[in-house]
Chain A
Amino acid sequence: MPSMMRCASVLVLAALAACAATAQQPSMITIEKHQDTRIPVAVPPFATADAGLRAASEEMAQTVADDLLFAGVFAIIPRNMYPANFAGFTSDLKSIDFPAWRAAGAQNLVYGLVLQEGGQLVGQFRLFDLVSNNQVYGQEVRVAQGSQRLAAHRFSEEVIRYLDAVAGAGTSEIVFTGISGKTKEIYVADYDGANAKKLTDHGSVSIKPKVSPDGNQIAYLSYKDRYSFLYVLDRRSGKSTVLSKEVGLNSSPSWSPDGKRLAMTLSKDGNTEIYLRNPDGSNPVRLTRNKDGDTSPCFSPDGSKIVFVSDRAGKPQVFVMDADGGNQTRISFHGGNAYDPVWSPDGKRIAFVSEVKGEGFEIYVMNPDGSNATQLTNSNGINESPSWSPDSRHVIFSSSRGGASALFAVNVTTGQETRIPKMTLPAEGPSWGPRRR
């Protein structure tokens, strides 16, 4: 397994090198796009002996297939390509016709058996390699009744880890602002938009939620007390406490990776500057000090640096500083304005919003030193508020391209954009949380 992972890493590096090479030779990009190098996987409906679990078992298989497809590394074998003699899985593994699945074009086959035990839903999942006809990964997942999607996400994360070195992010949640008329409340949902739940009920405008590294707390801005104050919502107690209630602006909270500090923008000293505080609002420290505006801080994943936006270059551009405010350095020398920088969890990239006159507001990624800026989206409308998936494969963002604001995710390797499929309300300002354990 470790050597497999190393091998896969080498492949990823080779792929990145290939991308870099093609980026300098635009004529090759089109050729690249027509080649489907994804791993073909078959994910037929899962077996169950319990007629009451038939719908759940089908939803689980579909959820695994959706997660694999979303990762951008896999192609799903369509039903009309299934072997002619396939009549559905049973609990009898010996009945699986591996050569027929291989002939259908699959390289891997996902098998699941779903049952109930002790009031819980149990999924017994297996991943087969159709070259060796061996089971290469197996997992039993127990969840509460009704949590079949979570069970499927748990398994898909591991399938993706096995086949593509880095675990998927199927169990992760997104928090976001849900829009209903003139009211904006904070919501949470599965990463794919399923199971959306309203977390606040302020009847006001509450925006820009940022989920803590452990997923249990959400920092956000609300006008509920008539000013732009910051609050921290504890998801276990459901209670919101004040993070910052200074005179003027309180905005743009960003959690340190250990969850012990928050960077934020305050204007209490006469200009928009960046400060640190504890989640309970204590222990404030000022980090920036200049006559131009500073905002949008975001910690590096090791906690040593903070990326932010400053107007000190005469227009908004991306800067980096040490987490104590030292060594403030401009990193983006972008042809327009640059906003909303966010550091990827693997530390390798910074996503941001670029506004080049006449080209709209598009999502870009660049290296942490500002080099190799690459455009990811290309749409009409304003694309903003990027946030990274925990596996660093995707950037989620809000977009006004279709009129009402909606959430999209873009795969940073393939450039594939997906509208978050199961979202049912207008939404903005997403923050992608950690995987659930």
Chain B
Amino acid sequence: MNAKSMLRVMTVMLCLVLVLGMTGCKHKKPAPLNTDVTNKVESTSGDGQPNVDLSKLLFEKGSKYGLQTVMFDFDSSSLRPDAMSTLKDNAEKIKAVPGVIVQVAGHCDERGTQEYNLALGERRALAVRNYLIQLGVSGDRLVTISYGKEFPAVQGNNEAAWAQNRRAEFNAASK
């Protein structure tokens, strides 16, 4: 290899490093918080109608149009005050998107048997469904499912983990 071709190789390598470094930076840069979908909805065409599909945003927890998870006390399907407050917001969001069918999914922490928790998770989902109906959501838009303790939100056998796993979540219902 002579000096000229060596120089050419080094130039190519330097270019590669620069290009890779730049693209790497571009990928790593975190998206600024104010560019998320919720804000896009507000900065729209001005006819008052958001140009985003609300029926999809309904199932995105990160969106302000999204239905929020509610939590429960141990071995209980009673709605806590914080859950009721969340469900009041959720009810308005559901009513804002007519026709969408919502699946209310009850979950449990790992304590209690698999079989018992299937029933407990269902009672949690039913408690949420009943309250949403009281708040004016049509019952035929709300289907329940229990996942028992099959799908914990977080792993761990301590109160912090258990508290996050005793919950009711909202999903799009399949036809």
A residues near B115, Cβ cutoff 8 Å? 208, 251-252, 295-296, 339-340, 384-385
Write the chain B residue with the least CB distance to A296.
B115
Q: Is B40 an interface residue (CB 8 A)?
A: no
The docked-state distance in angstroms from the alpha carbon of A248 to that of B118 is 11
A344: interface (CB < 8 Å): no
Q: Please, could you name 13 A-B residue pairs with CB atoms under 8 Å apart, sorted by A? A: A205-B150, A208-B114, A223-B150, A228-B145, A248-B144, A248-B146, A252-B119, A267-B119, A296-B119, A340-B115, A340-B116, A361-B111, A384-B115
In the A-B complex, the 9 residue pairs with the smallest Cβ-Cβ separation, listed nearest first, are A249-B122, A295-B119, A384-B113, A272-B119, A339-B113, A251-B118, A339-B116, A248-B144, A267-B122
Beyond the given pairs A228-B146, A252-B115, 11 more chain A to chain B contacts, judged by CB atoms under 8 angstroms and listed by A's residue number, are: A208-B114, A247-B144, A248-B125, A249-B145, A270-B130, A293-B119, A295-B119, A316-B112, A340-B115, A355-B112, A385-B115
Per-position 1/0 for B93-121, Cβ under 8 A of A? 00000000000000000111111101111
**C-alpha spacing A11/B117, complex, angstroms:** 42
| Given A247-B144, A249-B144: A295 in contact with B118 (beta carbons within 8 A) | yes
- Bound-state CA distance A221–B121 (Å) is 15
**B57 on the interface (CB 8 Å rule)?**
no
Contacts of A252 in B (CB 8 A): 115, 118-119
Q: Which residues of A have CB within 8 Å of B111?
A: 355, 361, 382
Q: Measured between alpha carbons, how far is A257 from B145 in the docked complex, in Å?
A: 30
- The 0/1 profile, CB within 8 Å of B marked 1, for residues 199-229 of chain A is 0000001011000000000000101001110
Inter-chain residue pair count (beta carbon < 8 A)? 98
Interface residues of B (CB under 8 A from A): 75, 77, 110-116, 118-123, 125-126, 130, 143-147, 150, 174
Partner of B143, one of A207, A247, A272: A247
Complex contact B114–A385 (CB within 8 A): yes
Would you call A248 and B150 a contact (CB within 8 A)? no
- Is B119 a contact partner of A384 (Cβ separation < 8 A)? no
Of A221, A226, A293, A382, the residue contacting B120 (CB under 8 A) is A293
Residues of B near A272 (CB, < 8 A) are 119, 122-123
By a CB distance below 8 angstroms, the chain B residues around A295 are 115-116, 118-119
> A251-B118, A251-B119, A295-B119 are contacts. A337–B143 as well, Cβ < 8 Å?
no
Q: Are A339 and B122 in contact (CB under 8 A)?
A: no
Q: Which of A249-277 contact B (CB under 8 A)?
A: 249, 251-252, 265, 267, 270-272
Q: A361: which B residues are within 8 A, CB to CB?
A: 111, 113
Specify which of B115, B143, B147, B174 lies most central, judged by the most chain A CB atoms within 10 Å of its CB: B115
Contacts of A382 in B (CB 8 A): 110-111, 113
For residue B130, which residues in chain A have a CB less than 8 angstroms away from its CB? Answer: 270
**A428 near B: Cβ within 8 Å?**
yes
Which residues of chain B have C-beta atoms less than 8 A from A267's C-beta?
Answer: 119, 122-123, 126, 144, 146
* B109 shortest CB reach to chain A, Å: 11
Given the interface pairs A339-B112, A385-B113, the reply to whether A221 lies near B118 with Cβ below 8 Å is: yes
Asked if A337 and B112 make an inter-chain contact with CB atoms under 8 angstroms apart, the answer reads: yes
Closest-by-CB residue of B relative to A205 is B150
Instruction: Give chain A's interface secondary structure class.
Output: strand
- Chain A residue numbers with a CB within 8 Å of B125 are 248
Judge if A410 is at the interface, Cβ distance under 8 Å. Answer: no
A→B interface (CB under 8 Å) = 205, 207-208, 221, 223, 226-228, 247-249, 251-252, 265, 267, 270-272, 293-296, 309, 315-316, 337, 339-340, 353, 355, 361, 382, 384-385, 400, 428-429
A296, B116: Cβ atoms closer than 8 Å: yes
Which residues in B have their C-beta under 8 angstroms from that of A296?
Answer: 113, 115-116, 119
Q: Most chain-B CB neighbours within 10 Å: which of A295, A337, A353?
A: A295
Given contacts A228-B145, A267-B126, A315-B75, contact A249 B112 (CB under 8 A): no
B-chain residues with CB within 8 Å of residue A340 when the two chains form the complex: 113, 115-116
B141 nearest CB across to chain A (Å) = 13
Looking at the assembled complex, report how far the CB atom of A179 sits from the nearest CB atom of chain B, in whole angstroms.
11
Of chain B, the residue at the smallest CB distance from A251 is: B118
**Chain B residues positioned under 8 Å from A271 (CB to CB):** 123, 126
User: In angstroms, how far is the closest chain B Cβ from the Cβ of A240?
Assistant: 19
The complex places the Cα of A251 from the Cα of B112 at a distance, in Å, of: 16
Q: Are B126 and A316 interface neighbours, CB within 8 A? A: no
**Nearest CB to that of A294 among chain B residues?**
B119
- A429 contacts B114, C-beta separation under 8 Å: yes
Q: Which residues of B contact A226 (CB under 8 A)?
A: 145, 174
CA distance A270 to B127 in the complex (A): 9
Question: Residue of A at shortest CB range from B149?
Answer: A382
How long is the Cα–Cα vector from A71 to B27 in the complex, in angstroms? 64
| Bound form: Cα–Cα A271–B123 in Å | 7
Q: Provide the residues of chain B in CB contact with A315, threshold 8 Å.
A: 75
Shortest distance from the beta carbon of B97 to any chain A beta carbon, whole Å: 21
Chain A residue numbers with a CB within 8 Å of B143 are: 247-248
Residue of B nearest to A292 (CB): B123
Q: How far is the CA of A309 from the CA of B123 in the complex (A)?
A: 14
Inter-chain CA distance A226–B174, complex, in Å, is 8
- Would B119 and A207 count as touching, CB distance under 8 A? no
